[in-house]
Every structure is written in C-alpha cells, then in structure tokens.
C-alpha cells in the first residue's frame, strides 16, 4: 500500500510539473507571436472619466531590443499642447524590473521614476508605470498555472494565472485569456494585494500588419474608479530603422538624436 501511495504522489507531482511548464510555454508563445526587430507607431490615447467625459492625446511610440536582448521603449506625446513634448523612456533589465525616466517640459529636465512610483498613474491615464511594460514582462518573472479553458469572443481560450515571484510587484496575480488556436491575448485581469480585481486590460481589433497579427486597440479599466483608457493604434510599422540615440535620456531632454 505504501508503494502505491508513493507512486500516486509521484505521478501527481509529475503531472503538476508538466502542467506548470505548459502554462509557461503558452504565455511565452503569446508573447512571441509577433517577431520584429523594431516597432514604431502613432496612437490616440482616449481617457474616459467616470462621468463619461473624454480627453484625447496623440502619442508616438518606438520600441527596439538592446544588444542584451532586453526591450527598450520611448513614448513621445504630440498633443494636446498641455502634454506636448513629454517624453518617457523604459529600459528592461536582467533583474526583471524596468528603469524608467520621464521628461516634462514644464520642469525642463529628465526625472527618473522611483520604484515607489511604479504603481502610480502614468500621465493621468488608467495605465500605471508598471502597466506600460506589462505586455513585455519576462515569462520567467512569474509562476504560471492553467486554471481552465473558457470561451471568449467566440474562441476557446486558456485561462492562465500568473503570480509574480517578486512580492514588490504592483499586482498579486494576473489572469490571462489566451486563444488556443492562435495565442492571441484577449483579456487580462490584474489583482491588487487584497486579492480583488483592480484593473481589466482588453486587447481587440486584431489586424494583419506587415504579415503580423496585431491588436490595434487596448483598453484598460480601473474598476473601482469607473474610468478607462483606450489606445487606438492608427499607424504601426515593423522593422523600420530606429537610431540607438532615441533610447537615451539625452533624447528625452532634447527630442533630438545626438
């Protein structure tokens, strides 16, 4: 009897291990769907208040991996006049955290974003500073588990729970709905430290852009506040050359590549 129990426990452990590996593989496949050296875009960021009022901002975004393979992104605000010239830089690193800097024209200087600010609102939107690099988050930074399969948007999806290994991360866990057929991510629920859903991130309007199946609309809702921010990607270009000098604090300060 003792041998049988040991065998059953071993089989259960082995199955659980494979299942965990499969969950991580699914998350990685979702992140690897679009292969490109660079990405450039122009988007409209529409912020919707609780009363239904809206504010629109136009932003340009430039993304490119560094020599070490870690991602780098610059966001430049083009309008309205109140935010025009604001520039934001994110550089991922081996620690799993991102280094971030922002240039605000009113201050006239570049300021580094402190780790204590990572959960704060990014430029008055429903995105936090952490959220700005959430989709590029390294799979190895979380422990992944397939919870179930569920139909969403007419497609059967894996529902995967991701628990951060770093307890200092803004969220206690994240649930992702990933299409079984093509690994599109349709939805993510982001849970706060109290275990409640704090935000909902939804990706939609997938289109073929240069042969890449690309979500052109991303909506982030802050549930308790009743607000949401939607990014509409109007122009997307893959593999356009982007100078290295764009991903520097000098570019943030001047808007020019030296």
Give the separation between CA 111 and CA 114, rounded to whole angstroms.
9
**If DSSP codes are grouped into helix, strand and coil, which group holds residue 192?**
coil
pLDDT of residue 148: 95
pLDDT of residue 12: 33
- Find out whether 86 and 123 touch, Cβ atoms under 8 Å: yes
Q: Does residue 14 lie within any of the structural domains?
A: no
Q: Does residue 119 lie within any of the structural domains?
A: yes
Q: Does residue 23 lie within any of the structural domains?
A: no
- Find out whether 87 and 76 touch, Cβ atoms under 8 Å: yes
pLDDT of residue 119: 82
pLDDT by residue (tens digit) across 25-57? 999 999 989 989 999 999 999 999 999 999 999
Lookup: tokens for 245: 């000098």
Helical ranges in 147-238 per DSSP H: none
pTM: 0.86
Tell me which residue range forms the domain holding 217.
29-254
Q: Does residue 39 lie within any of the structural domains?
A: yes
Beta carbons within 8 Å of 210's beta carbon, 6+ residues apart: 237, 238, 239
* Phi, psi dihedrals of residue 249, rounded to the nearest 5°: -70, -25
Lookup: tokens for 78: 């083009």
Give the separation between CA 238 and CA 211, rounded to whole angstroms.
10
Give the separation between CA 184 and CA 42, rounded to whole angstroms.
22
Which CATH number do you get for residue 146? 2.50.20.10
Residues with pLDDT less than 50, the chain: 1-19
Domain count, the chain: 1
Q: Does residue 149 lie within any of the structural domains?
A: yes
Give the separation between CA 107 and CA 99, rounded to whole angstroms.
20
pLDDT of residue 246: 96
Q: Does residue 228 lie within any of the structural domains?
A: yes
Lookup: tokens for 219: 């909506």
The Cα-based distances of 228 to 55, 165, 214, 215 in angstroms read 11, 28, 21, 18
- Find out whether 41 and 236 touch, Cβ atoms under 8 Å: yes
């Amino acid at each position: 009897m003792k041998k049988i129990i040991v065998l059953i426990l071993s089989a259960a452990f082995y199955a659980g291990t494979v299942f965990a590996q499969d969950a991580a593989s699914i998350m990685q496949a979702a992140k690897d769907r679009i292969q490109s050296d660079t990405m450039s875009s122009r988007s409209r960021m529409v912020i919707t208040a609780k009363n239904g009022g809206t504010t629109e901002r136009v932003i340009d975004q430039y993304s490119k991996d560094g020599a070490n393979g870690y991602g780098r992104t610059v966001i430049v605000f083009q309008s309205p006049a109140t935010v025009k010239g604001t520039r934001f830089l994110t550089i991922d690193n081996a620690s799993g955290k991102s280094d971030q800097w922002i240039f605000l024209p009113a201050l006239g200087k570049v300021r580094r974003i402190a780790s204590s600010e990572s959960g704060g609102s990014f430029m008055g939107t429903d995105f936090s500073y952490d959220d700005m690099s959430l989709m590029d988050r390294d799979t190895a930074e979380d422990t992944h588990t397939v919870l179930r399969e569920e139909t969403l948007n007419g497609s059967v999806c894996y529902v995967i729970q991701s628990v951060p290994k770093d307890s200092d991360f803004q969220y206690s866990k994240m649930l992702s709905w990933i299409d079984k057929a093509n690994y599109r991510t349709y939805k993510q629920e982001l849970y706060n430290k109290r275990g409640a859903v704090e935000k909902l991130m939804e990706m939609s309007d997938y289109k073929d852009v240069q042969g890449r199946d690309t979500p052109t609309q991303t909506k982030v809702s802050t549930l308790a506040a009743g607000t949401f921010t939607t990014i509409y990607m109007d122009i997307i270009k893959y593999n356009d050359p982007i100078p290295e000098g764009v991903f520097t604090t000098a570019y943030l300060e001047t808007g020019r590549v030296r």
